[in-house]
Chains A and B, each alone.
Chain A
Amino acid sequence: MSEPQIEPEIIRISWGPQHPMSGQTRILIDVDGEVVHRLIADLGFTHRGIEKILENRTLLQGLIPIERMAMVDTANIGLGYVLAVEEALGIEPPERANWIRSMICEICRINSHLYAFGLQVESTGYFPAVFLWTTVDREVLLDLLERLTGARWSYNFIIPGGVMNDLPEGFQDKVREAVNYLRGRFRQYWEAMVENAVFEMRCVGVAVLRKEDAIRLGATGPVLRGSGVDMDVRKDEPYAAYGDLDFKVITQPDGDAMARLKVRFHEIEQSLNIIEQVANEIPGGPVRVKIPLFPRPKPGEFLSRVETARGELGIHMFTDGGMNPYRVKINSPSLRNMYVFERLAELNRILVADIPVVINSIDPWYLDCDR
């Protein structure tokens, strides 16, 4: 990206990609003293061309690159692709597979929210205690996933036609145990973080995104819901087993960094409820239907929507009768939120010290932005 001109008396700080807190992106910050004038996001450091790669893979091979889009949130993104493939092939997964899909997706959502939560807390300058707590607690969930799928990351467990395997012996009890443990931990998080006076000072009223702006700028996921809009694909257009599950869409009216944190926090509670429901009420039956190894999709276009941890993901697949998709367009949630981040400095008075807090409350996943 070529750098735009700057006015005199303004320092342009390059925040990232080599920076303790920035991640794989660069943000140009124009500052006048401590006040941020303008934010410019410079993306593309992790551009791998997944859309192009998918054009050169068969439908089933495409499962592997697509899950590399956001490692922490694999299942949700994989599910988005699988839904589009299933629509193209005209197959319906069995009931039990849908419930298992919902459970894995919620485990992934908790994983991802815990990561975002820990990062936002650390970015306030909290000595990284809470970030490490969340890392340790994610271990519980990763163990569950390992038991279920055999891998801790990128397991490709959700496949067209269902899921790979049935739940292992005694898995439901493990799930209940983990859910109870995490509920106890979250009470501690709430006391240590949200009710901490200095943390409140750092997050309340920072980077306010009003409802109209959130809609106009195309925010999605916790960012949009933190501004009081109850858009959630799981409710609007139920996929997997979400039509049968009982959960609430969390919204917060304030639209500041704290509201986004609270949305994530309460969404974790809802996800824990969903996981518990699945463990208790999962119906019996087969978990996958047979599909050919090299399926030929019918020509046409198929647009699937799923709610990932960072917001709405859309996979728009065009097929022309060949074994490979003709084109796959990925509507990534992080890219939409990154634009909101770039505009926040105009809508609010943001100081340099707020930048890490703001960006981690938006929680973009740069691999997802760049694809």
Chain B
Amino acid sequence: MILEAPSLLMKSVLFNLKPLTQIIVIPGLAFILLFAIIVVWFERKLLARAMLRVGPYYCGGRSGVLQLIADFLKLFLKEIVIPQDAHRVLFVSTPIILPTIPALAITLIPFDLDWVLFRAGGLSLPMFFAIAGFSPLIPVFAGWAANNKYTIIGSLRTAFLYISAEIPLVICASAVAIMAGSFDLGRIVESQSTIWFAIPQFIGFIIFFLGLIIEAERTPFDIPTAEVELVLGWRTEFSGILFGFTMMAEYVSFLAWALLFITLYLGGYNGPNILGLPLYSHIFWMLFKLAVLVPIVILIRGVFPRLRMDQLLRLGWYYLMPLSILNLFITLALKLGGIF
């Protein structure tokens, strides 16, 4: 009786305060912040290896795990410099709004059939794209508000980048929805319990992987913030914690798209039940897949230069777009042929 108390308490917390747990623990604030901190640390360590360095070294033991917290504190305490000619309201508000958009999108991702923060049912996949579709607008506003030549060029690049990536992504996602017979993310995951959609939709899988890197603005597609020519693109004028927010937004957006990628193609939370309670096991598999995907995306940053804008547009419109339509037709043929 006494021994069972903690686990009972745990269960009651989990199930009675479910929305609160979801908001605070997973997939809520703690998860997103921890993800950003761990991934940035991991990225710095991993890429330092590629550069024959050791990476963060002094903060938090020899591994430097606390470096990110120190950096965050430093950014927080720094002065926020607002350029004289900037649009003050937009300039201050855009970086704060920026990470909330992908964070909102994350609420749609199912970690279990019942463990969804925001139940949108059959609308959840379109809703994800609707919410995420806002995110390119914010850099455009931010670049315009800062009133600087670098930021304006950077924000225009952002707009081009997202348009060329998002349309193939939507087409690929609708192919998945056709295959699953539903726009509900939960149903899509459930229909992958036998076979992951990465296998029948291999073209879509590749396109979505590239699109994920483009949407997260990571090398080789980090064209809007190209450091060597545009200083930091649309982020050039941000300082202090505003800059910290834009950096965080990059990782939150990466997280949102990675979770959607796992949900659509890598079987979502499906996996052998190894932790007893299916809920724990599902969350574990979700995190496990994320932990496999993230280093791959990070390593790509270590081995590829950045593409040029015209090369990216050619990639988007000449290759990704026709291929995603081809993928859609293949899916239709499979569906009508009755194979799936």
Contacts and interface: CB of A to CB of B under 8 A. Distances in A.
Do A and B share a direct contact in the complex (Cβ within 8 angstroms)? yes
Interface of A: 11-13, 15, 19-21, 31, 33-34, 121-129, 132-133, 136, 192, 196, 198-199, 201-202, 351-356
Given A13-B150, A125-B220, A125-B228, A199 B310 contact: no
Interface string B171-203: 000000000000000000000000000000000
Contacts of A123: 228
B305 A353 contact: no
Contacts of A34: 153, 309-310
B51 A352 contact: no
Contact of A125 (B50, B149, B222, B302): B222
A126 B226 CA distance: 10
In the A-B complex, list the 7 residue pairs whose CB atoms are closest, starting with the nearest: A125-B306, A124-B305, A356-B228, A21-B228, A132-B51, A126-B305, A353-B308
A199 B305 contact: yes
B47 A129 contact: yes
B219 A125 contact: yes
Interface of B: 47, 50-53, 149-150, 152-153, 156, 219-220, 222-223, 226-231, 301-311
A351 B309 contact: yes
B308 A351 contact: yes
Contacts of A201: 307-308, 311
A199 B156 CA distance: 24
A167 B153 CA distance: 55
B149 A127 contact: no
A125 B305 contact: yes
13 contacts: A19-B231, A34-B310, A125-B228, A126-B306, A127-B47, A127-B51, A129-B51, A129-B302, A196-B304, A201-B308, A351-B309, A353-B226, A353-B308
Contact of B307 (A21, A192, A202): A202
A123 B51 CA distance: 16
Contact of A20 (B52, B152, B228, B307): B228
A353 B219 contact: no
A136 B53 CA distance: 10
A358 B144 CA distance: 28
A125 B156 CA distance: 19
Contacts of B226: 125, 353
B223 A353 contact: yes
Nearest to A11: B149
Contacts of A129: 47, 50-51, 302
A21 B229 contact: yes
Contacts, number: 87
A15 B309 CA distance: 19
A360 B316 CA distance: 28
B220 to A, nearest CB: 6
Contacts of B230: 352
Given A124-B306, A127-B302, A356 B229 contact: yes
A124 B222 CA distance: 12
A160 B219 CA distance: 51
B310 A351 contact: yes
Q: Which of A136, A198, A353 has the most CB of B within 10 A?
A: A353
Contact of A121 (B53, B227, B305): B305
A34 to B, nearest CB: 6
B311 to A, nearest CB: 6
A352 B230 CA distance: 9
Given A13-B149, A20-B228, A353-B306, 5 more contacts: A12-B149, A127-B50, A192-B303, A199-B305, A201-B308
Nearest to A200: B305
A354 B307 CA distance: 10
A198 B149 contact: no
A342 B62 CA distance: 48
Nearest to B306: A125
A123 B230 CA distance: 12
A20 B231 contact: yes
A253 B50 CA distance: 33
Contacts of A192: 303
A355 B153 CA distance: 15
Contacts of A352: 153, 229-230
Nearest to A199: B305
A11 B153 contact: yes
Contacts of A21: 227-229
B239 to A, nearest CB: 15
A261 to B, nearest CB: 12
B52 A354 contact: no
A122 B228 contact: yes
A354 B53 CA distance: 28
Contact of B52 (A121, A136, A202): A136
